[in-house]
Chain A
Amino acid sequence: DAGVIQSPRHEVTEMGQEVTLRCKPISGHDYLFWYRQTMMRGLELLIYFNNNVPIDDSGMPEDRFSAKMPNASFSTLKIQPSEPRDSAVYFCASSSPLGGPYEQYFGPGTRLTVT
């Protein structure tokens, strides 16, 4: 299995631009999580989906952030407009309770820099 795939791996953009991060979970996993990691705040859960349905988006910082999961093999996290404080590493993770309770498999992350 290829594991969780994220793209792009690095993104540099200017303030005000739209940013779209992409994730392909492990086939068969029915949970998908988006996290943000910074030195100051550590690893924060932004939103997660179960069977393509958003379950908890309480971690989404503000309306500039949105996430979708149109099918079981693809999810996007969009930031519009982006701000310098959005600079962080964004991780996608997937899991399946069938494989054991809640062990999560992480992608390699997307390092976002907003200038």
Chain B
Amino acid sequence: SQQGEEDPQALSIQEGENATMNCSYKTSINNLQWYRQNSGRGLVHLILIRSNEREKHSGRLRVTLDTSKKSSSLLITASRAADTASYFCATDATGANSKLTFGKGITLSVRP
């Protein structure tokens, strides 16, 4: 089964609102990453959080990691129409030797 599973599957918000997306995983990890995919494009790396970190920021992005609950959240603040995309979490499991396992993704729609 998928290592990372995102929640919700789809999210629709108004421009300017915050978007929160969650990811749960099953095994111990070295790090967890979030990627964005615009329609018809490849995935783009957004942010990486290591297993010994609890929170990380990058511009309007904030990622948290709770290894005791095996979960992560991605917060996009002050969303824009251009943030409309699919978002994936990917886990680098301990012992996976550079192999990432991706969830099925969250479709975010930001209404102008």
Q: Which residues of A contact B (CB under 8 A)?
A: 4, 31, 33, 42-43, 45, 48, 50, 55-56, 91, 93, 95, 97, 100-109
**Cross-chain contact A106 with B98 (CB below 8 angstroms):** no
Contact yes or no, A100 B102, CB < 8 A: no
**Across the interface, do A106 and B43 meet the contact criterion of CB distance under 8 Å?**
yes
Pick from A33, A56, A103 the residue with the most CB of B within 10 Å.
A103
Q: In the bound complex, do residue B101 and residue A45 qualify as a contact, i.e. CB atoms below 8 Å apart?
A: yes
Report whether A101 and B41 are in contact in the complex, using a CB–CB cutoff of 8 Å.
no
Q: Does B44 contact A (CB under 8 A)?
A: yes
Q: Which of A31, A42, A103 contacts B102 (CB 8 A)?
A: A42
Docked complex Cα distance between A104 and B101 (Å): 12
Contacts of B48 in A (CB 8 A): 100-103
Q: Is B99 an interface residue (CB 8 A)?
A: yes
Q: Does B33 contact A (CB under 8 A)?
A: yes
Describe B's contact surface by its main secondary structure.
Answer: strand
Q: Which of A4, A42, A56 has the most CB of B within 10 A?
A: A42
Besides A93-B42, A104-B100, 14 other A-B contacts (C-beta < 8 A): A4-B42, A33-B100, A42-B104, A43-B43, A45-B100, A50-B98, A93-B43, A102-B33, A102-B92, A103-B33, A103-B48, A104-B45, A106-B43, A109-B42
Q: Is the CB–CB distance between A91 and B31 below 8 Å?
A: no
Report whether B41 and A108 are in contact in the complex, using a CB–CB cutoff of 8 Å: yes
* Residue B87 CB within 8 A of the other chain: no
B105 touches A56 (CB 8 A): no
- Contact (Cβ within 8 A) B42 A56: no
Among the interface residues B42, B50, B88, B97, which one has the most CB atoms of the partner chain A within 10 A? B42
Residues of A near B97 (CB, < 8 A) are 55-56
In angstroms, Cα B98 to Cα A33, docked, is 10
Give the chain A neighbours of B98 by CB distance below 8 A. 31, 48, 50, 55, 95, 97, 102
Which chain B residue has the least Cβ–Cβ distance from A45? B99
For B97, give the chain A residue with the smallest CB separation: A55
Contact of A101 with B45 in the complex, beta carbons under 8 Å: no
